[in-house]
Each structure stands twice: as structure tokens, then as C-alpha cells.
Amino acid sequence: MAALRVWGVSALVVVAIVWALVAGVAPSFQGDSPLPAMSEPGPVAPEPLARGAYLARVGNCAGCHTARGGAAYAGGRGIETPFGTVYAGNLTPDAATGIGAWSSADFWRALHHGRSRDGRLLYPAFPYTSYTRVTREDSDALYAYLRSLPAVQQPSPAHALRFPYNTQAALAVWRALFFTPGPPVAEPARSAEWNRGAYLVNGLGHCAACHTPRNALGAERQGQALGGGKVAGQGWYAPALDLPDEAGVAQWPLKDVVALLQTGVAPQGSVTGPMADVVFRSTQHLSDADARAMAVYLQALPQRSLAEAPVAAPAPTALQRGAKVYERHCAQCHGDQGQGEPGAFPALAGNRAVLLADTTNLLRMVLQGGYLPATAGNPRPHGMPPFRQVLGDEEVAAVLSFVRNAWGNQAPAVDTIDAYRAREARIP
């Protein structure tokens, strides 16, 4: 939901004033017309079911709506946000605890308007700000597939949000400020392939949910779509897709962008952290045409450039210490010159993930390790073991400072305090 962990006093005052103005006033919802009465669903043809199953994977619905060790789509997984925990709902067709009593119109309204069957406003941890762009046809196919699943009776836990975030009035204010329902709009000047890619990236794919910075109220910053952001509650940074120095792919061969989406590996880099889960559960299952369409759209994103700031050289003693740590623990896989091993271990020399200004991901990888997704195109991926119990904070900071300034790399040093905070952070 958001980027900041605590609101400032001034923000609370503003919200309190606005909340006081709207409390007791029934909120109105743009385009939210009355829905038809529920009708008994009949048999669904195999084609919509197969399409719905495919769309569920495109949207990675199981990623949030399946608790660890639980039944698929039965909900119960806690989504950590700076405002508390939101629990994903049960999407199986159980009449009491799932969507068994929902009509296809109810389901579409949840995606398009962010409103539940009983009229409650939904929290934007459910990314209806992206799903509002999903067509009614795709919504109906997704609904048909979910209705075909085995019913699981499993109530969702109550959300654990702090006041006033747990009130419908505060949520109504948030929606008035930051959400406008709207259908997907094709760009006639663009190709059909580009438009398909835009629909997938900005709709069911909801890429902006992670890759866009958030404001103090948890909304995506206007005009900064896909510009990079912290993944709330997960302790990772989703790099900007419009920056060549982060995750921009405008200069990549198209086939390499497709390979990254479908296998998690490309000559220029690979995926780890939450994106590895996205590739495993979602994008590896994209059709070749849809993977290519997404790649075409991502390559066409206008690329920003950042002014280069002078980089102060790390202290020689830190570099010397880091070099020794690297030789002892890293060189066997990543090479004496940071060259890596193609198809197995990534090169660190010239690796833009190593040079990110935000060192969150680097610290997370060293301390907790990381693994590529197992995909059809890369069924036995290599991984990196955790060094949390092996290296102290000073050693972690030193080796990362060394890696960021060896073999032609040049980036700011990593402080010991950053390593300490990453180690102490309560993240999954």
C-alpha cells in the first residue's frame, strides 16, 4: 500500500480534517451503477475456462491468494503494509467464505471499482488501481475459472490495520484523491502488439504495484509509473523500468527481454527476490505472443537519465578488507575478476544490480541468499547461499564496497550501519 512507515503529524491533521468532512456522508463511486440480480451459473465452455486459468497466471492471483501451505486460491495470506496487515480473500467458489455467492458482475465490480459484493470498499493492497483496466471479457473468463475450482471453506482473518486506516471513511478519502475507475484505452498511433503489451503490463500484470514509488498515503506517485519503488513489507527494491542504469531494457535485444520474462535469465541479468516468484508463478507461463508484446511495450518506455554525482572512493582499509572477504567467500563462483560463469553465476563486473544507488537488494542477497526461479527454460537454476551467520556487519559492508568499486565498477560505499539495519529488519 505505501512507502512510508509512519505518517508525520501534519499528514495526520490533514487526513483528520478531511475525514471529519466526509464522515457520515455516503461516498459515491464513479461509474458504479446498480448490478443485476444473481443468477444461477450454468455450465461454462472449456475455452473460457482455459482462458481464465491463463489470465489467473498472468495476474499471479495465486501469489497473494494462497497462504503458505494452504489450498490454492483459498486466501488467508497476510500482505504486510506500512499501515498494518491486509489478508487476501478466498477466491474459491465456497458460498459462505469465498466467491460462491458472487455473480460475474460482482466480480467485475471488485476488479474495476475496488468494491466488494456487499458494498465495502476494498483496500488497494488488492491492486484494483491496475485491475480497473481489465476488460469485462477477461474479468468474466477469470471469474469462470475461479468458479470451476474446488470450493474451500476458509474464512479470511480480519485485517489488522491501525486507526484510521481501518475505516471505510478514510478509505473513501483515499479513493477520492487517488483512484478513478477506467477501462483500457488503446493508443491508435501504436501497434496492436504494443497495445497488447500495455494492457498486460498496466492491467492484470500490475507491474506498477511494485515498480512505482509511493507517496506518504500509499498511492502510486503521479507521473512516475514504473519509476522504481520499495516493495512494501518484503524488504526489496523494485528497480525502475525507465532507467537504463536500473532495469530499463530499451537497449536490449528483444529476444533477451522475452527470455528474462519466460525463464528469469538473460545474458544481461537475471531475476531474484519477489521478481523470481513473479517469473515462477506468472510470466514463465506467458504465451510467446504475450511475452513478446510485454517486451515490446517495456522497450518502448521513455527512458530517463539521472545526473551523475561524483562518487567518493571508499576508504582503502575497507577495500582491502572487502577484497579478502571476496577472495575467501565469493571468487569461487563469481571469479577473480568478477567475470562470473555464463549460465551459472552472474558477473559482478559492470553489473547494474551491483551498482544500484539503493543497496537494499545487495544487502538482502548477501545476508539471506537468493535463488533464480525454476522455469521450463531454466529448470535447474543456481542460487546464492546466505551469509548471515558467516559474515559480520563490517565484513558485509566491506565486501559490498569492494565489489561496487572493483573491475571498473564505481559506486558509493556501503556503510556498516546499513548492513546492521538490513540484518535487524523484520522481513520475510
CATH code of the domain containing 368: 1.10.760.10
Residue 63: inside a domain? yes
Residue 321: inside a domain? yes
Per-residue pLDDT at 426: 64
Residue 5: inside a domain? no
Q: Pick the last residue of a domain from 299, 332, 357.
A: 299
If asked whether residues 233 and 284 sit together in one domain, one would say: yes
If asked whether residues 82 and 146 sit together in one domain, one would say: yes
Whether 174 has a pLDDT exceeding 90, the answer reads yes
* Section 354-360 average pLDDT: 94
Domain count, the chain: 3
If asked whether residues 111 and 203 sit together in one domain, one would say: no
Domain span holding position 381:
316-424
pLDDT band at 44 (very low <50, low <70, confident <90, very high): low
If asked whether residues 385 and 408 sit together in one domain, one would say: yes
If asked whether residues 56 and 174 sit together in one domain, one would say: yes
Give 131-135 contacts, CB < 8 A, sequence gap 24+. Answer: 131/59, 131/203, 131/204, 131/206, 132/179, 132/181, 132/182, 132/183, 133/182, 133/183, 133/184, 133/199, 133/202, 133/203, 134/184, 134/203, 134/204, 135/183, 135/184
**276 burial class (0-12, 13-18, 19+ CB within 10 angstroms)?**
buried
Residue 272: inside a domain? yes
Percent of the chain with pLDDT over 70: 88
pLDDT tens-digit readout, 216-256: 999 999 999 999 999 877 889 999 999 999 999 999 999 99
* Section 172-199 average pLDDT: 95
- Confirm whether pTM is higher than 0.85: yes
If asked whether residues 64 and 169 sit together in one domain, one would say: yes
Extract the C-alpha cell encoding 325: 572477504
Distances in Å between the alpha carbon of 70 and those of 58, 291, 382? Answer: 21, 30, 27
If asked whether residues 292 and 351 sit together in one domain, one would say: no
Residue 311: inside a domain? no
Per-residue pLDDT at 184: 87
Residue 308: inside a domain? no
- Euclidean distance between CA atoms 20 and 24, whole angstroms: 9
Q: Pick the last residue of a domain from 125, 152, 178.
A: 178
Residue 305: inside a domain? no
Whether 5 has a pLDDT exceeding 50, the answer reads no
If asked whether residues 143 and 112 sit together in one domain, one would say: yes
23: left (phi over 0), alpha (psi -120 to 50) or beta: beta
If asked whether residues 387 and 281 sit together in one domain, one would say: no
If asked whether residues 66 and 100 sit together in one domain, one would say: yes
Residue 27: inside a domain? no
If asked whether residues 132 and 217 sit together in one domain, one would say: no
**391 burial class (0-12, 13-18, 19+ CB within 10 angstroms)?**
buried
pLDDT band at 3 (very low <50, low <70, confident <90, very high): very low
If asked whether residues 270 and 326 sit together in one domain, one would say: no
Whether 7 has a pLDDT exceeding 80, the answer reads no
